[in-house]
Copies of this chain bind each other. A is one copy, B any other.
């Protein structure tokens, strides 16, 4: 039989082993680098911002540190949203607000970001855990709910209006990375009411096309002004939708769309390059159509019409500048983000367009058509209740 001394020795051994084992776990789980107070351009291996701060020396961005002053809301943390959140985190954004109600599944493993061991966790929780590890300088706020239900929508509106970097202030930008029509319309409604600038993204059900779009309430077409634009896939739509059938997806297409989206976000927030209003990606032909579309004065969303009135008033009040027409380029000197119209559609063409659908450049089409009411004015989707299910089926997984 063991002596008391032997037993005590064994206890000490076990206690030491346990401490080591727990330490190992803790190291792996919490080996988070300390926060960095000031972004530095110093070229050392240990500086996670050296390659970003180099954008200043390269003459691309004037004030890269400004990235820390922005709060961005990402709605939908799936194939596009998760990569979008990761890119913004690695760029050192000030604050990220993540909204999603889905769980990670093994069926998501054909896209970037989530890992098999996260299966079963909520997407926002799993994402926050990974992202905080990658960059502890970013502030995170997560909401594990569906923004389209009445209560959640009210809470969503409240958080995007008050959940900015400084609590009480609005977020700087909302990014729509959702995969269904209802959620897109909810974001559209919220942004029109709040006058909140947002960017849309989408990937087609056949996984080989996608797009990003910038929406400035009152200035550019909202989702109720005209059906959302998508990239034509040039593929026979033989697909029959049945139970047990899922959309296809590819990490490539979703990675490209997330990259183009966050690039547009950086250009918009940090003021460099040309911010795209609409940029499509056709993976089959490597074709990238771009355009812009004005708000529809007959839009059925009253908040959109109100924003249009306010925009017109602001434009009219603006001190008239001598319009210097050098060559054919129109310079928007007082446009604080350096946005330029890249549309193939002239303003005259847009104003002449009688219905809600303007002539579209090659390769872009609308996600669906809205039946005309008497009088020919555009009809909102919300009012065509009898066909809403049809529309949703068309838009699902867009």
- Cβ of A10: which chain B residues have Cβ within 8 Å of it? 11
A11-B10, A286-B279 are known contacts. Are A59 and B259 too (CB-CB below 8 A)? no
Minimum distance in angstroms from A200 CB to a CB of chain B? 16
A330 within 8 A of B: no
Cβ contacts under 8 Å, A29 to chain B: 28
- Chain B CB within 8 A of A248 CB: yes
Q: Is the CB of B57 within 8 A of A245?
A: yes
Contact of A255 among B2, B87, B244, B279 (CB under 8 A): B87
A344 to chain B, nearest CB (A): 14
Binds B, one of A148-156, A167-175, A232-240, A365-373: A232-240
Contact A105 B45 (CB under 8 A): yes
Contact flag A83-B112 (CB < 8 Å), given A31-B117, A54-B248, A255-B255 = yes
A90 to B134, CA, bound (A): 21
Given known contacts A31-B117, A116-B31, A117-B31, A252 and B262 CB-to-CB distance under 8 angstroms: yes
Instruction: Tell me the bound Cα distance from A15 to B10 in angstroms.
Output: 10
Question: In the bound complex, do residue B283 and residue A251 qualify as a contact, i.e. CB atoms below 8 Å apart?
Answer: no
Within 8 A of B (CB), among A86-112: 86-87, 90-92, 105-107, 109-112
Nearest B residue to A92, CB-CB: B110
Using a CB-CB cutoff of 8 Å, which residues 16-68 of chain A contact chain B? 17-18, 21-22, 24-25, 28-29, 31-33, 43-52, 54-55, 57-60
Complex: how many Å from CA A286 to CA B48? 27
Q: Which residues of B contact A357 (CB under 8 A)?
A: none
Q: Does A258 have its Cβ within 8 Å of any Cβ on chain B?
A: yes
Give the interface size class of chain A: 35 or more
Report Cα–Cα, A249/B249, bound state, in Å. 27
Query: Which of B31, B106, B115 contacts A47 (CB under 8 A)?
Result: B106
| Chain B minimum-CB-distance residue to A54 | B248
Give the contacting residue for A273; candidates B90, B117, B283; CB below 8 A. B283
Q: Which of A68-93 contact B (CB under 8 A)?
A: 83, 86-87, 90-92
Most chain-B CB neighbours within 10 Å: which of A15, A48, A247, A255?
Answer: A255
Answer whether residue A250 sits at the interface, using C-beta atoms and an 8 A cutoff: yes
Given contacts A11-B14, A106-B48, are A251 and B246 in contact (CB under 8 A)?
no
Whole-angstrom distance between the Cβ of A201 and the nearest chain B Cβ: 13
Q: A33-B106, A90-B111, A109-B134 are in contact. Are A274 and B263 (CB under 8 A)?
A: no
In the complex, the answer to whether A116 meets B251 with C-beta atoms within 8 Å is no
A285 part of interface (Cβ distance < 8 Å): yes
Q: Establish whether residues A133 and B111, one from each chain, have CB atoms under 8 Å apart when the complex forms.
A: no
A28 touches which one: B28, B258, B283 (CB < 8 A)? B28
Over the window 103-141 of chain A, the binary record of Cβ atoms lying under 8 Å from chain B Cβ atoms (1 yes, 0 no) is: 001110111100111010000000000000111000000
Q: Interface 1/0s, chain A 261-304, versus B by CB < 8 A?
A: 01110110000111010010001111010100000000000000
Q: How far is the CA of A51 from the CA of B251 in the complex (A)?
A: 10
Residue A144 at the chain B interface, CB threshold 8 Å: no
| Contact of A248 (CB < 8 Å), options: B58, B206, B260 | B58
Residues of B close to A256: CB separation below 8 A: 255-256, 259-260, 263
A192 within 8 A of B: no
A43: B residues at CB distance < 8 A: 107, 244-246
CA distance A109 to B238 in the complex (A): 43
Q: Out of B4, B8, B60, B110, which one reaches A206, CB within 8 Å?
A: B60
Please name all residues of chain B whose beta carbon is closer than 8 Å to the beta carbon of A115 when the two chains form the complex: 133-134
Give chain B residues whose Cβ lies under 8 Å from the Cβ of A48.
106-107, 109-110, 116
Check B15–A51 contact: CB distance below 8 A: no
Closest 4 pairs between A and B when the two form their complex, measured CB to CB: A256-B259, A273-B284, A54-B248, A255-B259
A and B contact pairs by CB, cutoff 8 A, 5 listed: A32-B116, A59-B238, A87-B251, A253-B263, A267-B283
